C-alpha cells in the first residue's frame, strides 16, 4: 500500500448493477502491439461531440504526420490531424460508425510509408512556461476528445465556469464493460505517462483531490498505477467489479457520494471526470506536442485468433485491424464497436477507428446469439432491481411503447443512461433500451416541433396583423381622399362640425391607447384585438384631421404650400425622434417611461399626420400640374424617399422592440433561474415584444425586398447590395458565435433556437449574396 | 460474414427466460403439495392432474381464437402455474367440474379476456378461486380433517363426484376459530386449534410453503418486499388485539401458520403482473394484504381471506405505484403522483 494514500476512501454503492461475464482474459494477456499501416486512412470530420471540423486541405495535397488537416468550427468542435505522412486522395462521404448506417464526410489519406512528423512544439516545462489557459488552448488544438465515451472535447471540461469550484478530479479507469481491456493494458504499460497527464490536469484545474477509480478485476494495472503515483498525492481508489460502475455518474457517486443533478454536468457538483486514455493523450500533447493521432483499441472476440490490444492510427479501417488480429471472417456473427453492453454494430468493415473507438468486438454467432423473440412484460421488476439510475424501467417501457411521452418523462425517462442492464436481465427478452432510445428521440423531436410551431404561430399572427393594418390604412386614405374631394367640391363645408368630429375621433383614439396600455400592464390576452382597434381609431382620427385640414385649406388655397407642409413634417418627425431618444435614455436609466412613451406616441401621431398631409398634398399639385406625364417621375422618386423614411422608422421600431424583447428574455431567464412566481407574466411580455419586433421586422423586410427589386430593376447601387450582403453575413457569423457559446453551456433549448436563427440568417445572407451577384452579372462587372 | 445491425446491449443473461421463472415457482410448490397430500390424501394431486391440462386447453383455445402463436405463448408456462396455484388452493375433495369451472374463470376471463400474459389487472388464480367460493360455497369449504386422508380410490371417486364426501370432512382451524371465537371453554377443547405450534396439521402446510418461499427468495425469483410486508402486516395487526383479548382474537403465530397465509405471501401476492412494482410500493402492497387478511378472518363472513385481500389490493396496485416512485439518480426528491 502506498503511504500517501492513508486509509482507503469510503466507497458509496450505487443502486442496481449487474455482473455479466467479463471475457477480459481474451485480450489482456498480451502486450500492446503496433497495428500495421493500412492502405488508406479514413478520417471523419466529426469524431467528437459537437460541430464537425472543416477540411483545410485539398485533394492532392501532401501532409506530414501531425499536420492539421481540418480545423475546429465553433467552440464545441475539434480539429483533425494527419495520423501519418502521405497524400490526401479524397474528401467526401464514407461509411462511418453511425446508428443508422449513414455515410459522413471524411478526409481520405494515403500513407507514403515514411511516417514523417511535422514540426512539433513540446512543452516539457509546462509547469512554469505558461498559464493553464494556454495549456487548455494547446489541448484543444491537439484535437483531444474524451476517449472513453461520447468524445466530448477535453478542453471544454477543463475550462469550468468560474462559479464551479472543482473539488475532485476523477480519472475513470474502471473499464466496466466486458471484453474491453484497452485502459487495463494502458495502465500496465504506461502508468507513468498517465500519472504525468493527471499532474497536468491538476495544474490546470487545481482540484483538492485527484482520484483514479479502477475496478478490482485489474490487479496488475492497480499495482502499476500505485507505483507510478507514489509520492504524488494522487489517490488510486479500487472499486468493486459491477457494471456500470464506469458510468461517469455512477463512478462519481461511488467515489464521492455526490450525484450529478438530473440534466446537469459534473462541474456543478465540483467534479471533473476524464478517461485514462484521454489523460495519456493530454500528457503526450503537452510534453511531446503530439496531437491526437493514435489510440489503444482492444480487438477481441472469439472470431479472432490473435485478440489483443493495438496501438491504432485514427482512421484505420476495421478490416485492416481484423486482418492484423487474425480474424476468421466466416465466423464473425456480429461486429461491434465498443463493448457488448453499449457498443454499436458495424454494418461494414470499411468503417474507420475514430477517437472514441476503444474496442472492436468480432463475436461469433454463439458468443452473441441473435436476440430471442420478445415476450410480454410480466412486470417482474428485475429491471428495476438492476437500474443504476434507480428508474422503474418496466413503467418506462409501458409508456414508451404507448408513446405516452408525458408519463415517460414523469418517470424520468431522460435520466436513463442506456447502460442496458435492464435488457440484460429481462426474462421476456424485451429490447428495453431500444424502446427508451426511441422515446427519448420522440421527446426531443416533440420539443423541436413545439418550438417550430410557436414560431410559426407568431409569424402567422404578425402577418394577419400586418394585412389588417394595411387594409385599415388603405381604407383611411380612401376615406380621406373622398372627404377631400367632397371638401374641394363644396367649399362651404361646416368647419365646426368637421373639427368636432376630428376632436371626438382623436379622443376615442387616446382612450383606446390608454386601454391598451392598461391591458399591457395587466398582461391581458386580448392585446392583439385592442391594438388593431387602436390602429383603426387612429386611422379614423387621422382621416378626420385630414378632412379638417383639407376643408380649411381648400377654399383659401387650392394649391397647397407643399414646402411648408414638408418642413412641418420634418420638424414633427424630428421632435418624435428626440422623444424616442429621451425615452430610451430613461429606459436605460431604469426610470418610469410610460409618460414619456405616451408623449412619444402623441408626437408620432403628429408626425404621421404631417407626413400624411405632405403625401396628400403631393398628388394634388401633380394633378393640378398641366402635364401628367412629367409628374410620374417625381412621384416615383418621392415614393422611394418615402420608403426610405418608412424603412428608417421601421428599423427604429424594430430596434426598440427587439431590444425590449432581449431585455425581457433576459429578465425571464433570470426569473426562471431564481424560480420567481411571475414567470407567466414575463413570458407573455417576452412574447408580446417578440411579436412587436417580428412585425416590424417583417414590414421592414417587405420594404427591403421591394427596394431590392427596384434596385435590381434599375440595375444600380451595387454598393448598397454589397453592404447588405456583408451585413447579413456578419450577422450570421455573430449568430454562429452565440450558438457556439450556447453549446458550451449545453443549453439545449437555446441551441435549438439559435440554430434556427442561424439558418434563417444564413439564408438571408445567401439571398443577399445572390442579389449582389445578380446585380454584378447584370452590369457585366467582374467585380468580386 | 453477414453483419447484423441491432442496438445494444448485445448480450443477455443466461438463465433468464419467462418460462424458467414460472417453472421455478412451480418447483417451489413441491414441499407444500407433498404436505397437503400427506395430510389430506390424493385429492390435491388429482386437482393438479385435472387443472393443468384444462388450463393448457383453455389457454390454447383462446390464443387460437385471438390469432396468436399458440406454441410460443404456451411456452411461457404461465397457464400451468396458474393451474397449479388454483389446484393447491381449492379443497382436495373437489369434483372435476368445479376445477374446470375455476380454470375457465381464471384463464379465459381473468387473463385472456384482458389481453393475456402481462395484461391482467387481477391475479387469475384468485379470480378463479373467488368465482368458485361465491358460486359453490359448500364444495369450496369441505376440507378433510388432517391425518384422516381417504384412500386414493376414495379420492378418485370424489373427483368423479360419486363419493359421499361429507362423511370425512372436518373443520379447519380457521373454521373452528370463527365458530368459537370468544368462547374460552370451546376454544380450549378443540383439538384442531392445538397443533404443535398453531392449528393442527395446517402449521406443517404453512411451514412447507414457507420453505418453498425461501427457495424462491434465494433464487431471486421474487423479491422479499411483498411476503415480508404481508406477514409483518398480518402479525403486527394481530398482536395488539391478541394481547388485549386472547379469547376473541388469535395469536399472530396462529395467523401466520393458518390457512393460506404462507402460500398467499410467497406464491399468490407475489404474482408480479397484478402486484405493485416499486420497492416501497411492494412493501405497502404486501402489508395492506396482511392487514386485510386479518380483518376479514377476524370480522368477515369467510374463514380465510387471502383471495379477497389479494384481489382488493390488485385494484389498489396502480395507485400505490403512482405514489411510490423511487428517487432517481440526480433528483433531490422522488416524484410523487401524476404531473399536474
User: Chain A within 8 Å of B37 (Cβ-Cβ)?
Assistant: no
* Percent of all residues in chain B with a pLDDT value above 70, rounded to a whole number: 95
CB A249 within 8 A of CB A260: yes
Question: Hey, is B167 helix, strand or coil?
Answer: helix
CA distance A596 to chain B (A): 43
User: Chain A within 8 Å of B16 (Cβ-Cβ)?
Assistant: yes
Q: Do B1 and A101 touch (CB under 8 A)?
A: no
Q: Cβ neighbours of residue A48 under 8 Å, at least 6 residues apart?
A: A77, A78, A143, A145, A151, A152, A153, A355, A356
If contacts are CB pairs under 8 Å, which of residues 67-86 in chain B contact chain A? Answer: 72, 76, 78
Query: Per mean pLDDT, which range of A114-118, A166-170, B225-229, B335-339 is the poorest?
Result: B335-339
Residue B15: its pLDDT value, please? 58
Round to whole Å and give the CA distance between A74 and A79: 10
Question: Does residue B284 lie in a domain region?
Answer: no
Residue A592 to residues A575, A589, B175, Cα–Cα distance (Å):
20, 9, 85
Query: Nearest residue on chain A to B277, judged by CA atoms?
Result: A381
Question: Does residue B76 lie in a domain region?
Answer: yes
- A606: pLDDT strictly greater than 80: no
Query: Is this complex's ipTM strictly greater than 0.90?
Result: no
CA distance B267 to chain A (A): 13
Residue A624: its pLDDT value, please? 42
> What letter does residue A343 receive in the DSSP assignment?
-
Residue A713: its pLDDT value, please? 60
Question: What residues form DSSP beta bridges with A211?
Answer: A170, A235
Residue B338: its pLDDT value, please? 53
3-state secondary structure A468-524: HHHHHHHHHHHHHHHHHHHHHHCCCCCHHHHHHHHHHHHHHHHHHHHHHHHHHHHCC
Chain A hits for B326, Cβ within 8 Å = 15, 384, 390-392
Over residues A74-121, the pLDDT tens digits come to: 888 999 999 999 999 999 999 988 877 788 999 999 999 999 999 999
If contacts are CB pairs under 8 Å, which of residues 85-104 in chain B contact chain A? Answer: none
- A6: pLDDT strictly greater than 60: no
- B10: pLDDT strictly greater than 60: yes
Q: Do B16 and A382 touch (CB under 8 A)?
A: yes
In Å, the largest CA–CA distance within chain B is 83
Query: Nearest residue on chain A to B15, judged by CA atoms?
Result: A427
Neighbours of B324 (CB within 10 A): 21
Residue A276: its pLDDT value, please? 94
- What distance lies between CA B240 and its chain's CA centroid? 26
Chain A hits for B72, Cβ within 8 Å = 373
Chain B hits for A259, Cβ within 8 Å = 329-330
Neighbours of A98 (CB within 10 A): 14
Cell numbers placing A508:
376615442
Question: What residues form DSSP beta bridges with A103?
Answer: A95
Q: How many domains does chain B have?
A: 1
Q: Do B278 and A384 touch (CB under 8 A)?
A: yes
Q: Which residues of A307-333 are buried (b: 16+ CB within 10 A; e: fewer)?
A: bbbbebbbbbbbbbbbebbebeeebbb
CB A136 within 8 A of CB A204: yes
- A491: pLDDT strictly greater than 60: no
Residue A744: its pLDDT value, please? 74
Query: Nearest residue on chain B to A19, judged by CA atoms?
Result: B13
Query: Nearest residue on chain B to A438, judged by CA atoms?
Result: B7
Nearest neighbour of A379 by CB, restricted to B76, B116, B118: B118
- A486: pLDDT strictly greater than 50: yes
Candidates A253, A303, A375, A391: best to mutate against B (most CBs of B within 10 A) is: A375
Residue A550: its pLDDT value, please? 67
User: Chain B within 8 Å of A245 (Cβ-Cβ)?
Assistant: no
- Average pLDDT of chain B is 89
If contacts are CB pairs under 8 Å, which of residues 407-436 in chain A contact chain B? Answer: 407, 410-412, 415, 418, 420, 423-429, 431, 433-434
Question: Does residue B8 lie in a domain region?
Answer: no
Starting at the earlier edge strand, list the strands of the sheet with A41-44: A41-44, A103-111, A86-95, A62-63
Over residues B138-151, the pLDDT tens digits come to: 888 888 888 777 88
Starting at the earlier edge strand, list the strands of the sheet with A54-55: A54-55, A68-71, A80-81
CA distance B86 to chain A (A): 19
Nearest neighbour of A376 by CB, restricted to B3, B116, B321: B116
Nearest neighbour of A375 by CB, restricted to B76, B278, B279: B76
Q: Do B11 and A368 touch (CB under 8 A)?
A: yes
Residue A555: its pLDDT value, please? 47
Round to whole Å and give the CA distance between A466 and A457: 14
- A492: pLDDT strictly greater than 70: no
If pLDDT is split at 50, 70 and 90, which confidence band does A622 have?
very low
Nearest neighbour of A395 by CB, restricted to B76, B272, B277: B277
Chain A hits for B330, Cβ within 8 Å = 249, 259-264, 389, 415
Round to whole Å and give the CA distance between A468 and A178: 67
Cell numbers placing B201:
396439521
Candidates B9, B277, B314: best to mutate against A (most CBs of A within 10 A) is: B9
Chain A hits for B278, Cβ within 8 Å = 384, 392
3-state secondary structure A301-339: CCCECCCEEEEEECCCEHHHHHHHCCECHHHEEEEEECC
The burial of A453, by beta-carbon neighbours within 10 Å (0-12 exposed, 13-18 middle, 19 or more buried), is given as exposed
Over residues A13-46, the pLDDT tens digits come to: 999 999 999 999 989 889 999 999 999 999 999 8
Neighbours of A401 (CB within 10 A): 14
Task: Note if the pTM is more than 0.90.
Answer: no
User: Chain B within 8 Å of A437 (Cβ-Cβ)?
Assistant: yes
Question: Does residue B65 lie in a domain region?
Answer: yes
Q: How many CB pairs under 8 A join A and B?
A: 167
Over residues A526-544, the pLDDT tens digits come to: 667 777 777 777 777 787 7
Residue A779: its pLDDT value, please? 56
Instruction: Output the CA torsion A690→A692→A693→A695 (10° steps).
Output: 120
- Average pLDDT of chain A is 83
Question: Hey, is B9 helix, strand or coil?
Answer: coil
User: Chain B within 8 Å of A19 (Cβ-Cβ)?
Assistant: no
Residue A654: its pLDDT value, please? 82
Q: Do A423 and B9 touch (CB under 8 A)?
A: yes
Chain A hits for B79, Cβ within 8 Å = none
Round to whole Å and give the CA distance between A632 and A313: 74
Residue B257: its pLDDT value, please? 93
Query: Nearest residue on chain A to B4, judged by CA atoms?
Result: A334
Round to whole Å and give the CA distance between A156 and B61: 63
Over residues A577-592, the pLDDT tens digits come to: 777 777 777 676 666 6
Cell numbers placing B278:
416499486
In the Cβ-directed half-sphere of A395, how many Cα atoms lie within 13 Å?
Answer: 23
Round to whole Å and give the CA distance between A520 and A535: 16
Question: Does residue B78 lie in a domain region?
Answer: yes
Residue B27: its pLDDT value, please? 96
| Boundaries of domain holding B71 | 18-170
Residue A487: its pLDDT value, please? 62
User: Chain A within 8 Å of B335 (Cβ-Cβ)?
Assistant: yes
Candidates B329, B334, B336, B337: best to mutate against A (most CBs of A within 10 A) is: B329
CA distance B49 to chain A (A): 26
Round to whole Å and give the CA distance between B54 and B86: 12
CA distance A346 to chain B (A): 7
Question: Hey, is A70 helix, strand or coil?
Answer: strand
Starting at the earlier edge strand, list the strands of the sheet with A294-300: A33-34, A308-313, A294-300, A359-364, A332-337, A344-345
If contacts are CB pairs under 8 Å, which of residues 274-333 in chain A contact chain B? Answer: 329-330, 332-333
Nearest neighbour of A259 by CB, restricted to B273, B325, B329: B329
Q: Do B7 and A335 touch (CB under 8 A)?
A: no
Over residues A301-342, the pLDDT tens digits come to: 999 999 999 999 999 999 999 999 998 888 888 899 999 999
Cell numbers placing A695:
412585425
> What letter does residue B75 receive in the DSSP assignment?
T
For helices B124-135 and B306-322, what crossing angle results, to 10°? 140
Max mean pLDDT among A703-712, B51-60, B70-79 falls in B51-60
Neighbours of A300 (CB within 10 A): 30
Over residues A668-722, the pLDDT tens digits come to: 887 777 777 777 778 888 888 888 888 888 888 887 777 767 655 654 566 777 7
Round to whole Å and give the CA distance between B244 and A351: 78
- B203: pLDDT strictly greater than 60: yes
Round to whole Å and give the CA distance between A568 and A549: 14
Q: Do B8 and A338 touch (CB under 8 A)?
A: yes
User: Chain B within 8 Å of A99 (Cβ-Cβ)?
Assistant: yes
- A727: pLDDT strictly greater than 70: yes
* Percent of all residues in chain A with a pLDDT value above 70, rounded to a whole number: 86
Residue A714: its pLDDT value, please? 55
Per-residue pLDDT averaged across B168-191, rounded? 80
Amino acid at each position: 500500500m502506498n503511504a500517501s494514500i492513508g486509509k482507503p476512501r469510503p466507497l458509496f454503492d450505487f443502486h442496481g448493477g449487474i455482473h455479466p461475464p467479463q471475457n477480459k482474459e481474451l485480450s489482456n494477456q498480451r502486450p500492446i502491439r503496433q497495428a500495421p499501416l493500412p492502405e488508406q486512412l479514413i478520417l471523419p470530420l466529426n469524431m467528437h461531440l459537437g460541430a464537425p471540423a472543416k477540411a483545410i486541405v485539398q485533394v492532392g495535397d501532401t501532409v506530414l504526420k501531425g499536420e492539421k488537416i481540418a480545423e475546429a468550427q465553433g467552440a464545441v468542435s475539434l480539429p483533425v490531424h494527419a495520423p501519418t505522412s502521405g497524400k490526401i486522395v479524397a474528401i467526401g462521404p464514407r461509411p462511418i460508425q453511425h446508428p443508422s448506417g449513414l455515410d459522413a464526410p471524411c478526409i481520405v489519406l494515403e500513407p507514403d510509408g515514411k511516417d514523417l512528423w511535422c514540426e512539433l512544439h513540446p512543452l516539457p516545462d509546462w509547469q512554469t512556461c505558461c498559464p493553464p489557459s494556454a495549456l487548455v488552448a494547446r489541448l484543444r488544438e491537439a484535437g483531444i476528445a474524451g476517449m472513453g465515451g461520447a468524445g466530448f472535447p477535453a478542453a471544454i471540461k477543463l475550462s469550468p465556469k468560474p462559479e464551479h469550484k472543482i473539488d475532485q478530479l476523477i480519472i475513470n479507469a474502471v473499464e466496466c464493460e466486458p471484453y474491453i481491456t484497452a485502459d487495463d493494458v494502458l495502465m500496465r504499460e504506461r502508468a507513468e505517462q498517465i500519472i504525468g497527464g493527471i499532474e497536468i490536469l491538476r495544474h490546470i484545474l487545481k482540484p483538492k483531490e485527484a482520484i483514479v477509480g479502477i475496478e478490482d478485476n485489474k490487479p496488475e494495472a492497480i499495482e502499476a498505477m500505485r507505483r507510478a503515483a507514489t509520492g504524488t498525492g494522487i489517490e488510486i481508489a479500487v472499486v468493486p467489479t459491477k457494471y456500470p460502475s464506469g458510468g461517469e455518474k455512477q463512478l462519481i457517486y461511488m467515489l464521492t457520494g455526490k450525484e450529478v443533478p438530473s440534466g446537469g454536468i459534473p462541474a456543478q457538483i465540483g467534479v471533473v471526470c476524464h478517461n485514462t486514455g484521454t489523460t495519456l493523450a493530454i500528457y503526450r500533447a503537452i510534453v511531446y506536442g503530439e496531437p491526437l493521432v493514435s489510440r489503444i483499441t482492444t480487438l477481441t472476440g472469439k472470431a479472432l485468433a490473435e485478440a489483443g490490444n493495438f496501438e491504432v492510427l485514427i482512421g484505420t479501417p476495421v478490416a485492416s485491424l481484423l486482418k492484423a488480429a487474425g480474424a476468421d471472417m466466416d465466423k464473425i456473427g456480429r461486429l461491434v464497436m465498443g463493448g457488448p453492453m453499449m457498443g454499436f454494430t458495424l454494418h461494414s468493415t470499411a468503417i474507420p477507428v475514430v477517437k472514441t473507438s476503444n474496442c472492436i468486438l468480432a463475436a461469433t454467432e454463439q458468443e452473441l446469439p441473435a436476440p430471442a423473440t420478445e415476450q410480454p412484460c410480466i412486470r417482474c421488476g428485475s429491471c428495476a432491481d438492476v437500474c443504476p439510475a434507480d428508474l422503474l424501467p418496466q413503467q418506462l417501457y409501458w409508456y414508451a411503447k404507448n408513446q405516452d411521452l408525458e408519463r415517460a418523462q414523469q418517470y424520468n425517462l431522460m435520466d436513463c443512461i442506456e447502460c442496458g442492464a435492464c435488457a440484460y436481465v429481462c426474462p421476456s427478452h424485451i429490447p428495453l433500451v431500444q424502446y427508451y432510445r426511441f422515446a427519448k428521440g420522440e421527446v426531443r423531436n416533440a420539443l423541436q416541433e413545439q418550438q417550430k410551431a410557436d414560431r410559426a404561430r407568431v409569424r402567422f399572427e404578425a402577418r394577419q396583423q400586418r394585412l389588417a393594418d394595411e387594409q385599415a390604412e388603405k381604407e383611411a386614405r380612401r376615406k380621406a381622399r373622398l372627404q377631400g374631394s367632397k371638401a374641394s367640391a363644396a367649399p362651404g363645408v361646416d368647419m365646426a362640425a368637421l373639427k368636432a368630429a376630428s376632436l371626438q375621433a382623436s379622443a376615442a383614439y387616446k382612450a383606446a391607447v390608454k386601454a391598451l396600455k392598461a391591458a399591457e400592464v395587466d398582461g391581458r390576452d386580448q392585446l392583439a384585438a385592442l391594438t388593431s382597434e387602436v390602429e383603426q381609431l387612429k386611422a379614423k382620427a387621422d382621416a378626420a384631421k385630414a378632412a379638417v385640414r383639407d376643408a380649411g385649406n381648400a377654399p383659401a388655397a387650392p394649391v397647397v404650400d407643399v414646402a411648408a407642409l414638408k418642413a412641418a413634417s420634418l420638424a414633427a418627425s424630428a421632435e418624435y425622434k428626440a422623444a424616442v431618444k429621451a425615452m430610451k435614455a430613461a429606459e436605460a436609466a431604469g426610470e418610469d417611461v410610460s409618460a414619456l412613451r405616451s408623449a412619444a406616441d402623441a408626437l408620432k401621431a403628429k408626425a404621421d399626420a404631417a407626413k400624411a398631409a405632405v403625401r396628400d398634398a403631393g398628388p394634388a399639385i401633380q394633378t393640378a400640374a398641366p402635364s401628367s406625364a412629367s409628374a410620374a417621375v417625381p412621384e416615383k422618386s418621392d415614393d422611394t424617399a418615402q420608403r426610405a423614411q418608412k424603412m428608417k422608422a421601421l428599423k427604429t421600431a424594430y430596434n426598440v422592440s427587439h431590444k425590449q424583447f432581449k431585455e425581457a428574455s433576459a429578465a425571464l431567464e433570470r426569473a426562471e433561474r431564481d424560480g420567481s412566481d411571475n414567470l407567466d407574466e414575463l413570458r407573455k411580455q417576452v412574447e408580446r415584444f417578440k411579436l412587436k419586433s417580428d412585425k416590424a421586422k417583417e414590414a421592414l423586410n417587405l420594404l427591403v425586398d421591394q427596394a431590392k427589386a427596384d434596385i435590381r430593376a434599375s440595375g444600380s447601387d451595387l454598393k448598397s447590395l454589397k453592404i447588405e450582403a456583408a451585413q447579413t453575413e456578419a450577422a450570421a457569423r455573430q449568430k454562429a458565435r452565440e450558438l457556439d457559446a450556447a453549446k458550451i453551456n449545453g443549453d439545449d433549448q437555446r441551441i435549438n433556437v439559435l440554430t434556427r436563427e442561424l439558418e434563417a440568417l444564413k439564408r438571408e445572407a445567401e439571398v443577399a449574396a445572390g442579389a449582389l451577384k445578380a446585380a454584378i452579372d447584370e452590369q457585366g462587372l467582374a467585380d468580386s | 460474414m453477414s453483419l447484423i445491425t441491432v442496438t445494444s446491449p448485445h448480450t443477455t443473461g443466461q438463465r433468464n427466460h419467462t418460462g424458467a421463472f414460472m417453472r421455478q415457482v412451480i418447483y417451489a410448490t413441491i414441499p407444500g403439495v407433498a404436505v397437503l397430500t400427506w395430510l389430506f390424501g390424493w385429492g390435491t394431486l388429482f386437482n393438479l392432474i385435472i387443472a393443468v391440462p384444462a388450463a393448457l386447453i383453455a389457454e390454447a383455445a383462446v390464443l387460437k381464437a385471438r390469432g396468436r402463436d399458440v406454441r410460443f405463448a404456451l411456452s411461457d408456462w404461465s397457464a400451468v402455474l396458474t393451474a397449479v396455484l388454483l389446484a393447491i388452493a381449492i379443497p382436495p375433495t373437489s369434483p372435476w367440474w368445479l376445477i374446470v369451472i375455476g380454470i375457465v374463470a381464471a384463464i379465459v376471463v381473468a387473463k385472456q379476456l384482458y389481453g393475456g400474459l402481462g395484461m391482467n389487472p387481477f391475479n387469475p388464480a384468485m379470480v378463479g378461486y373467488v368465482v368458485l367460493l361465491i358460486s359453490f360455497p359448500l364444495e369450496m369449504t369441505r376440507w378433510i380433517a388432517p391425518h384422516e386422508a381417504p384412500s386414493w380410490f376414495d379420492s378418485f371417486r370424489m373427483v368423479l363426484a360419486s363419493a359421499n364426501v361429507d362423511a370425512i370432512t372436518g373443520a379447519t382451524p380457521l373454521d373452528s376459530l370463527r365458530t368459537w371465537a370468544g368462547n374460552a371453554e370451546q376454544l380450549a377443547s378443540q383439538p384442531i386449534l392445538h397443533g404443535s405450534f398453531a392449528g393442527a396439521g395446517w402449521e406443517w402446510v404453512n411451514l412447507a410453503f414457507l420453505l418453498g418461499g425461501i427457495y424462491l427468495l434465494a433464487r431471486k425469483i421474487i423479491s422479499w418486499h411483498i411476503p415480508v410486508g404481508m406477514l409483518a402486516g398480518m402479525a403486527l395487526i394481530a398482536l395488539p388485539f391478541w394481547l388485549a383479548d386472547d379469547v376473541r382474537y388469535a395469536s399472530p403465530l396462529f395467523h401466520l401458520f393458518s390457512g393460506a397465509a404462507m402460500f398467499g405471501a410467497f406464491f399468490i401476492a407475489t404474482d408480479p403482473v397484478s402486484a405493485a412494482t416499486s420497492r416501497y410500493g411492494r412493501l405497502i402492497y404486501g402489508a395492506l394484504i396482511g392487514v386485510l387478511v386479518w380483518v376479514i378472518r377476524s370480522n368477515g363472513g369467510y374463514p380465510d381471506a387471502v383471495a379477497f385481500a389479494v384481489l382488493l389490493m390488485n385494484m389498489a396496485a396502480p395507485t400505490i405505484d403512482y405514489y411510490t416512485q423511487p428517487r432517481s439518480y440526480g433528483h433531490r426528491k422522488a416524484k410523487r403522483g401524476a404531473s399536474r
